[in-house]
């Protein structure tokens, strides 16, 4: 390795997502603060690569867009395929050349636009978490949105298993939420893979609450910036993201969130390892049968927190309006998590502290919650009807944009 040379070195906010090699070039797909960028290196012999400065006027990949790169035929060609999509752009296949750093592209195929994004825009901001960590988030909104704290805002997150939340096209979000004046936020919290293994490992086991502090920081930043206010802000998450929003329910509750959508969730951290695939997640969360692990696990187990924290004397906690969805045939996260959580909220919590707890269980569909497009459409129609009936109604009196659209 004496002749080895560093071509790319990651930083805390910059990571290598993929690479492609053509006949004479190496193309690196780099995530820089969760924004995609392509970097071109020309092979000059003797194992050496030289960085190619992009030509003047080359357009960078827009914020809120993602790209994948593939070599067309590396044995003889320097052509590359670019697969692009984003929050406002459907999947598109382009062909370009590494010789000019993909300055000129030709579209080979593009999926149709399924909602009008003309008056929509994507921004990226960052919030400061409890320990000072900067947490990036994307915000997709209408260009005419007023910063008066009255916009219905849906915050999405995951924060686990080194899975990054990258930009992607979601027609349903655009058609039934964004076009009607809603704001969508995607929080890139710790536990995910946006910045590589360290970002993930910083929220494992006893540090899991770092992910939840990050998510709360994003919510507070949206309030401070005048985007929304607690009664007009909802959060949504599924699977490990269901555990995330389950903690939002039992931590700040209605003090920060107007409503919550909790999908195929993990909620009882005392028994998660005994149900279906749960035992395989102990490296992520811990082993509740080990007393030292249970000491920290119980702090982010929503099912236990209802009794241990939320209903303790002197607590001012109230539950936001909440919708739980799951599937009888979920083979990954047992539907018992959602069932028992709903029962506890309905039976053990006084009505004045949890006045709206809704539950929908599909009998098919596995961990995705739906077995076909018809069931999937019904499930998401239910979710967005719930959101418009909760935070949407609370935003209506002050949000002029809602009356225009």
Count of beta carbons in the 10 Å neighbourhood of residue 380: 18
167: number of CA atoms within 13 Å, CB side? Answer: 30
Give the per-residue pLDDT at 403. 78
Q: How many whole angstroms separate alpha carbon 401 and alpha carbon 405? A: 6
Contacts with 237 (C-beta within 8 Å, 6 or more apart), sequence order = 156, 157, 158, 243, 244, 245, 261, 262, 263, 265
pTM, entire model: 0.96
d(CA 318, CA 321): 9
Catalytic residues: 239, 367
Please list, residue by residue across 258-277, b when 16 or more beta carbons sit within 10 angstroms of its beta carbon and e when fewer do: bbbbbbbbbbbbebbbebbe
Residue 396 φ then ψ, to 5°: -50, -45
Q: Tens digit of pLDDT per residue, the chain (405 long)? A: 677 888 899 999 998 999 999 999 999 999 999 999 999 999 998 888 999 988 876 767 899 999 999 999 999 999 999 999 999 999 999 999 999 999 999 999 999 999 999 999 999 999 999 999 999 999 999 999 999 999 999 999 999 999 999 999 999 999 999 999 999 999 999 999 999 899 999 999 999 999 999 999 999 999 999 999 999 999 999 999 999 999 999 999 999 999 999 999 999 999 999 999 999 999 999 999 999 999 999 999 999 999 999 999 999 999 999 999 999 999 999 999 999 999 999 999 999 999 999 999 999 999 999 999 999 999 999 999 999 999 999 999 999 899 787
Task: Indicate the burial class of 279 (C-beta count within 10 angstroms; 0-12, 13-18, 19 or more).
Answer: exposed
Q: How far apart are CA 142 and CA 151, in angstroms?
A: 10
Which residue's structure tokens are 């995607």? Answer: 186
Enter the tokens of residue 123: 């921004």
So what's the pLDDT on residue 150? 96
Distance of CA 208 to the CA centre of its chain: 16
pLDDT of residue 60: 76
CA torsion, points 285, 291, 295, 297, in degrees to nearest 10? 20
Joined tokens for residue 275: 């149900």
- Three-state secondary structure readout of the chain: CCCCCCCCCCECCEEEEEEEECCCEEEEEEEECCEEEEEEEEEEECCEEEECCCCCCCCCCCCCEEEEEEECCCCCCCEEEEEEEECCCCCEEEEEEHHHCCCCEEEEEECCCCCCCCCEEEEEEEEECCCCCEEEEEEEEECCCCCCCCCCEEEECCCCCCCCCCCCCCHHHHHHHHCCCCEEEEECCCCCCCCCHHHHHCCCHHHCHHHHHHHHHHHHHHHHCCCCCHHHEEEEEECHHHHHHHHHHHCCHHHCCCEEEEECCCCCCCCHHHCHHHHHHHHHHCCCCCHHHHHHHHHHCHHHHHHHHHCCCCCCCCCCEEEEEEECCCCCCCCHHHHHHHHHHHHCCCCCCCCCEEEEEECCCHHHCCCCHHHHHHHHHHHHHHHHHHHHHHHCCCCHHHHHC
Residue 80's φ and ψ, nearest 5 degrees, are: -135, 150
CA dihedral 149, 317, 304, 365 (to 10 degrees): -40
pLDDT of amino acid 140: 98
Q: How many CA atoms within 13 Å lie on the side-chain side of 274?
A: 8
Integer Cα distance of 298 and 300 in angstroms: 5
- The answer to whether residues 288 and 274 touch, using CB atoms and an 8 Å cutoff, is no
User: What pLDDT is recorded for position 74?
Assistant: 96
Q: What is the C-alpha separation between 375 and 30, in angstroms, rounded?
A: 37
At residue 57, the pLDDT reads 64
Pairing between β-strand 153-156 and β-strand 183-187 as defined by DSSP bridges: parallel
């Amino acid at each position: 390795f004496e002749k080895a040379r560093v071509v790319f070195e990651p930083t805390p906010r910059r990571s290598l997502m993929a690479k492609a090699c053509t006949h004479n070039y190496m193309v690196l797909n780099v995530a820089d603060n969760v924004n995609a960028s392509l970097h071109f290196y020309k092979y000059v012999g003797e194992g050496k690569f030289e960085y190619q400065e992009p030509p003047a006027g080359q357009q960078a990949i827009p914020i809120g867009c993602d790209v994948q790169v593939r070599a067309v035929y590396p044995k003889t060609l320097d052509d590359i395929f670019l697969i692009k999509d984003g929050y406002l752009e459907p999947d598109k296949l382009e062909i370009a050349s590494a010789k000019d750093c993909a300055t000129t592209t030709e579209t080979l195929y593009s999926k149709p636009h399924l909602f009008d994004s003309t008056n929509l825009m994507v921004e990226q901001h960052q919030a400061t978490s409890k320990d000072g960590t900067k947490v990036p988030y994307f915000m997709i909104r209408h260009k005419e949105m007023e910063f008066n704290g009255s916009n219905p805002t849906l915050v999405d997150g995951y924060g686990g298993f080194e899975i990054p939340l990258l930009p992607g096209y979601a027609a349903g979000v655009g058609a039934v939420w964004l076009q009607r004046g809603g704001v969508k936020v995607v929080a890139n919290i710790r536990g995910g893979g946006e910045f590589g293994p360290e970002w993930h490992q910083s929220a494992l086991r006893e540090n899991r609450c770092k992910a939840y502090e990050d998510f709360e920081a994003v919510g507070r930043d949206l309030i401070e910036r005048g985007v929304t206010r607690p009664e007009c802000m909802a959060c949504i998450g599924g699977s490990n993201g269901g555990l995330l929003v389950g903690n939002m329910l039992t931590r700040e509750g209605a003090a920060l969130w107007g409503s919550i959508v909790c999908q195929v969730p993990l909620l009882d951290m005392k028994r998660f390892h005994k149900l279906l695939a749960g035992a395989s997640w102990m490296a992520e969360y811990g082993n509740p049968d080990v007393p030292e692990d249970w000491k920290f696990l119980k702090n982010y187990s929503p099912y236990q927190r209802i009794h241990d924290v939320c209903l303790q004397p002197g607590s001012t906690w109230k539950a936001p309006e909440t919708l739980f969805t799951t599937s009888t045939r979920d083979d990954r996260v047992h539907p018992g998590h959602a069932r028992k959580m709903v029962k506890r909220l309905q039976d053990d919590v006084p009505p004045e502290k949890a006045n709206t707890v809704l539950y929908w269980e599909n009998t098919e569909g596995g961990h995705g919650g739906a077995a076909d497009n018809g069931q999937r459409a019904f499930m998401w129609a239910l979710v967005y009807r719930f959101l418009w009936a909760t935070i949407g109604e609370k935003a209506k009196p002050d949000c002029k944009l809602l009356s225009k659209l």
